[in-house]
Amino acid sequence: MERRRLGGTDMDVSWLGFGAARIATDTGSPAAAEQLLNALLDSGVNYIDTADCYGESEETLGKYISHRRDEYWLTTKCGHAAGEVTAPEWTAEAVTQGIDQSLRRMQTDYLDLVHIHSCEVDVLRRGDVLRALQDAQNAGKTRHIGYSGDNDAALEAIGMGVFATLLTSFSVVDQSGLDEVLPAAEAAGMGIIAKRPIANAAFNRPASPYSYADEYWQRAQHFTLPAGAPEDGVALALRFCHSFDYIDTAIVGIDSLNQLQSNVEQVAAGPLPPSVLKSLRGQFKEHGHDWSQLM
């Protein structure tokens, strides 16, 4: 599987990453979750993204693949009052408690990367959350720190010059990051991770697949499928994202072995044909010029 260096870190990441938010709920059973997680690693996926607020995601990762810890980059997000975190969210205490909780849950003594989870500009400017992240890094709890977010908050985080990576929204129906956010992050030497790269599986669907995808589905109604484009909306969206060198890895929620095989094949197919890419860019500029990144 294709790998790219994640910005200025030492992490060579698979272009297809795994978003583990629903690993504990959508696979159907603990046995299926265990099988899928090990199949992901066997396929060459080595970038795993979770968060302290994703229910039993972290515990599931710890239970089923902690014995293969040297085969993948383990990344999480913090800042919420979730699980055993008792401190108010977006405080230094919440960050510290969240990181310690994540280490326990995932049965590891270090994380490769911790993102602050989509906090607003005022939290970044206040400084205590950043100091807590840096303290965790200095203590060896995480090797790198990053910011997860979009729009003005992402630009604020980029401008601070302290984060190694940016996790940000980017897809065929969420292209506004190309205007400022992605070029600024690249210029700052940050690794860039795309979240929601398949637009919540809402593109070229007769109806929104679930409520969380409603906004993406509504945006998708403004697009027509270009000649030569994949008819499968997930394939089109993933290959669209793969068409931009800004993106070092794209995290996709995968809940079955069939989805894993399909996603691997889509990535192997490479970027979209130039004519298809040009059409999709033009349609977004026409209809989505005032659409901001979805948080």
How far, in Å, CA of 4 to CA of 10, rounded? 10
Per-residue pLDDT at 212: 86
> What percent of the chain is modeled with pLDDT above 90?
91
Cβ neighbours of residue 238 closer than 8 Å, sequence gap 6 or more: 197, 198, 250, 252, 263, 266, 267
For residue range 245-287, what is the model confidence (pLDDT) as tens digits? Answer: 999 999 999 999 999 999 999 999 999 999 999 999 999 999 9
Examine the pLDDT at 57 and tell me if it is beyond 80: yes
- Judge whether 250 and 241 are in contact, CB under 8 Å: yes
Q: What does the mean pLDDT of the chain come to?
A: 96
Q: How far apart (Å, rounded) are the C-alpha atoms in residues 41 and 65?
A: 9
Q: Give residue-wise pLDDT tens across range 140-187.
A: 999 999 999 999 999 999 999 999 999 999 999 999 999 999 999 999
**Cα–Cα–Cα angle for 223, 229, 230, rounded to 5 degrees:** 105
**Angle formed by the axes of helices 57-65 and 30-43, nearest 10°:** 70
- Residue 180 CA to residue 154 CA, distance in Å, equals 10
What are the pLDDT digits (tens) for 176-226? Answer: 999 999 999 999 999 999 999 999 999 999 999 888 899 999 999 999 999
* 9 HSE (CA, 13 A, CB side): 26
Taking 90 as the threshold, does the pLDDT of residue 102 lie above it? yes
pLDDT confidence tier of residue 1, bands split at 50, 70 and 90: confident
Number of CB atoms found within 10 A of residue 156's CB: 18
What are the strands, taking DSSP E only, across the chain?
3-5, 12-14, 16-19, 47-49, 73-78, 111-117, 142-148, 165-169, 191-195, 249-252
Pick the CATH number of 3-287 from 3.40.50.150, 3.40.109.10, 3.20.20.100, 3.40.50.300: 3.20.20.100
